[in-house]
Structure 1
């Protein structure tokens, strides 16, 4: 069977399970005695093992199986979770992630995980180093297998007899595994896997399920159909490691008939003295059954009948991009039609256009929601990363995540992960002090990093705030001068805010020692360029001794927004509707001048009044000549600002178009849109004015 058609599904589902493993392990580390979390981890690992075995990625399946052995001891209260076990399991998950990444890149998913396997085997043996450096003992009972022979039922006997008549060899195989083998089930799996490549296992004793759960002593036996000879099969199995003895006997018609008579004669006695032997359906699947789902407590689950069909499908993001582009063009034509209908004044045309507008509005909402993804898909990998970094730097850090349900356009989500990784690593390494330094500064030894996301107008803000040492502006400026980023004269004129911006200079670093975490001067400059390419920006707020806040502003979507169209002279502009608090008219007498700035009283507080015509140098309009001026009040967080405009054209759905790489970054403009009459209107960025 061609497995390539299932590869993308395998990769997607493997990544989901790996993410679930990481999250559940973090939860278990916080609550080591919660066995319900262990069950979740076990199920994810088991499903991943089954998928990997089915796809033929044996290294991945084998490592996951050894993780299962450890988890099985934990969930059966035979082993308590300790730091060494947590670290080993986290390393195992990292190795699994690297294998899946290799498969994504076209590789075969192989990796050298011998050190991790050795640690997992040591845990299973009970050799766990504890805090005192001694070895903790773990009791692990060894299951005994019955000495009963392998009896065949009537159906299994007929299968063997028919195969022999068709020219196949029927072989009875008995395999004994060495007593010092720590993972008997894995060795048995390898035997079954080897045999399945050259034939078919008809019956095994103990059953495949019992062998998988190590419910046997050192040996197991089976009946096997193949084209190979008994001696060849014996040699093949002996080539596997940790196999002590193999007995391989070829059967002829006479011995098979005798076996059938013995089986029938012994059946009644076996049924009254031993558990019922599994039928052919339990064991004929061989190696594929070795990866079948293991049920809780060893009991078989009832088969699901009439289950609900899956309610989700995976869609290539490129198809959504094409759909969005087509809809954007449709929206421009819709606005044009609405304009023409209002000019023609035909009742039927107006009614049809209004209906089309309602339908396309609903369609737009659906298309937009298809592209929106919670930032949780990016945030959920950070707790594990911060935990590992804190451990490597010997720091105590609590990562608090809020607003993970905030939604962003899929295109932005795909690009924002790496910049946030850099900012978090920077916060852990540079921001949070060591435990001794925090205690000396009168702070709690546990540092806190807040990762939060929230909507503000037509933007999403992601903030990384820590209660660390803060940024020393003088140290930053000295380092910038030393590295030749700025001159001594430039440094002398810079304030704290400008000094903070030096952190984004290419090649800049304040680290005195280069480590595996930071210090190479690569990171924040990459963050700045990546966020700028997404139409966003990043701002630093820092107080020395109290902490630092990196605030990342991102566009909510890269495609369609609701906006208020305004006119300034002969020019038209669009203001995102989500940023507008209200519109109104103010008299000239209401405008005050405070310290040279125009201010306006708005709801019992003074807010700035900005002249858009002056900021954008509009040649044919100046509101200072008018007795009354229309204003638009916009908000960012708690801050408000009023913008003076000439006329309101009305609300509209607009398609955001990029200004392109030939135009420099224009302060206060986030893009442009094409109106129904073909004119271009610039889109105002209210957040820039409030800053």
Structure 2
């Protein structure tokens, strides 16, 4: 029997074990002396090693074997955890995740793990060192140069001996550069007209495929002087910096010498440790690491309870949902025919089928529901790494991770939440010094909450940081032409904060590689609106900010109120409706040219759907009495004028396709029982 049929099972279980190791390692970082957590990590690593060896993924098996050796020493009290070992194991998990991801993409799961394996072995033998002096030196003075082979080294050496100039060049493109590969090619073309490029890092092929961040480096041989070389490189558009170092025989030997595997891995990890290491740490010393992130505690140290579950391919669930959608349309058609034929036996059969299909609908929808924990569980590790890189102390507190959402929404919500969380860590939570100066704890706290409310799920990200400066937002908005000086004085706090979601809006004084307050928030808003939800922000200067995301439970089947406008039918989602009513035309007021109506001790706007959608055979102004539907978005309400209520119905949401994209206040369409198409109104678009 071929092993390939077990690949899907291997991928799913590998991801589960890697996630479990990440979570347990974070818990261990908070309690380094809790050996029971080490046992849990060891079991996951051992299982992963066995699975990968069986499947033939030797690189994964060898790396997990080296991790086992380190963990075995720790669980037998022969080795104490310290920041170096933590970072080394975290880097091992990153490598394992990359290899599993390569397998998912159809690759072989192979990777160069020699450096990290060498570092793990050095921990076992006790040969590694993590003194503060070494770590700080590495962090402050990164080794310049590119490792070259023997042939390339001889070319550079002979060039220096022959009187040529040899340069080490580091080139950075601008952060907003769109075509990085094209700019790199122009730099290479410029250099090749003045001399010869010996070695580039990343490789030329990787640069052509844009597999580099913002910078690349190379060795260059020429007769041109350094000033001319720098001028020519900076003449290329969108090049930000060009660092050029003239290389002599002595510096060439130092810059290009191959480092040993242990040295390379140790220096790389030591640089990361330097930011958080406050004193020398001997291998046998017990160090209690400050927790950078706190998530929900691991569910005990005992053996996990066997799950009564089976794995189902996502495509099969999608096919089931599509078939059930067709069944719903046919059910609506049968209900209409039964009401016309008026035969008792047919009516009873159709009613029974409706009850059964309703139960079936609930089961099908629940099959697609996934706990948001599947998205939330990757955030504690991310917050830990961000906090360390920014030299901050941040606790992430997660509540409501068991809240369920439709799989379609789950697949899309991850990236917007990542951006909002990175934004909170980078620009929400202050530095340790600023927090202490403000009389706060040096530990910042970010609350990540999820909860149900009606037919929606709310996800909130709240930090106890500096808050949002209203005046800075207005100043930037006026400067960018988003509002006038006169308009700015009339805006409420919420309206000011919502300016953050305008395209390209940013109040960041310097652009960070992590995030900028407002950079990309327009993309977050667009993504959430595509999912049928909306996002809003609230803040109190000096006390923190809260981003609240509202999402629909499901995107495929919704309850809606069908209404008629003349000969046309429309559907309004029940989740947005407050109530329905009838009003006399005499109750309608005109205030500053806008129609308003009295509603429960307040006055709310009145929207004419017939005028909005240009309905030809209905005009509510000719009627003495008109039906209204009061809809809500947050704390704002609007009354919609309709001709007639048809009734409540479960409808299947169908997209309008790319040819009808961007229609105002229309989120899709549905097929009714009589075969007619009814457009689905998006109330959120009607409420500003």
TM-score by length of 1: 0.66
Q: Is contact 2:477–2:483 with CA below 8 Å preserved after alignment?
A: no
Task: Report deviation, 1:506.
Answer: 5.8
In terms of Rg, which structure is larger?
1
1:198-237 equivalences under 5 Å are: none
Partner of 1:373: helix, strand, or coil? strand
What is the Cα deviation at residue 366 of structure 1? 1.9
Residues 644 and 444 of structure 1: CA distance in aligned 2, closer, same or farther (over 3 Å):
farther
Q: Secondary structure at the match of 1:653?
A: strand
* d(CA) in 2 for partners of 1:659, 1:497: 33
1:457–1:635 contact (8 Å) kept in structure 2: no
Q: How does 1:373-392 map to 2 (within 5 A)?
A: 373-392=370-389
CA gap of 1:645–1:122, structure 2 versus 1, over 3 A, is same
2:646 is aligned with 1:649: yes
Corresponding residue of 2:162 = none
1:268-667, aligned counterparts within 5 Å?
311-472=308-469, 475=472, 486-487=480-481, 503-504=500-501, 509-518=506-515, 523-584=520-581, 598=596, 600=598, 602=600, 606=602, 608=604, 610-613=606-609, 616=613, 630-635=627-632, 643=640, 645-663=642-660, 665-666=662-663
Shift of 1:538: 3.5
1:461 is displaced (CA, Å) by: 3.1
Deviations 1:421-443 (A, max 9, x none): 12221221122221112223333
Q: After alignment, is 681-690 or 338-347 more displaced?
A: 681-690
Aligned residues: 517
Does the CA-based 8 Å contact 1:573-1:683 persist in structure 2? yes
- Report if aligned partners of 1:456, 1:579 keep a CA contact under 8 Å in 2: no
Matches of 2:579 and 2:518, distance apart in 1: 45
User: 2:19 aligns to what?
Assistant: 19
Match in the other structure for 1:32: 32
Q: Deviations over 1:642-662 (max 9, x none)?
A: 555443222211011223334
CA distance in 1, matches of 2:100, 2:14: 7
Name which of structure 1's ranges 614-623 and 110-119 shifts more when overlaid on structure 2: 614-623
Candidates 655, 680, 683, aligned match of 2:677: 680
Which residue of structure 2 lines up, in the alignment, with residue 52 of structure 1? 52
Contact 1:84/1:128 (8 A) holds in 2: no
Give the Å deviation of 1:18.
0.7
Match of 1:42 in 2: 42
Residues 615-651 of structure 1: per-residue CA shift (max 9 Å, x gap): 5565655667767655545555666665554432222
User: Does the residue aligned with 1:109 lie in a helix, a strand or coil?
Assistant: coil
Distance in 2 (alpha carbons) for counterparts of 1:660 and 1:476: 37
- Where 1:453 maps in the other structure, the secondary structure is strand
Contact 1:331 1:655 in 2 (8 A): yes
Cα deviation for residue 67 of structure 1 reads 1.5
Write the deviation string for residues 490-526 of structure 1: whole angstroms up to 9, x where unpaired.
6875557676566556666554545442469974454
Q: Is the 8 A contact 1:467 1:546 kept in 2?
A: yes
Offset at 1:15?
A: 0.7
- Change in CA separation of 1:71 and 1:578 when aligned onto 2, cut-off 3 Å: same
Q: Give the match's secondary structure for 1:447.
A: strand
Runs (5+) with no aligned partner, structure 2: 136-300
**Structure 1 residues 629 and 443 mapped into 2: Cα distance closer, same or farther (>3 Å)?**
farther
Q: More deviation in 374-383 or 486-495? A: 486-495
How far 1:358 sits from its partner (Å)? 1.9
Answer whether contact 2:588 2:595 (CA < 8 A) is retained: no
Normalised to the residue count of structure 2, the TM-score between the two structures is 0.66
What is aligned with 2:117? 117
Q: Does the C-alpha gap of structure 1 residues 505 and 593 become closer, same or farther in structure 2, counting only changes over 3 Å?
A: closer
Superposition pairs of residues 137-148 of structure 1, within 5 angstroms:
none
Superposition RMSD in Å: 3.8
Asked if the contact 2:423/2:516 (under 8 Å) is kept, the reply is no
Whole-Å separation in 1 of the counterparts to 2:504 and 2:637: 37
Confirm or deny: 8 A CA contact 1:457 1:636 kept in the other structure: no
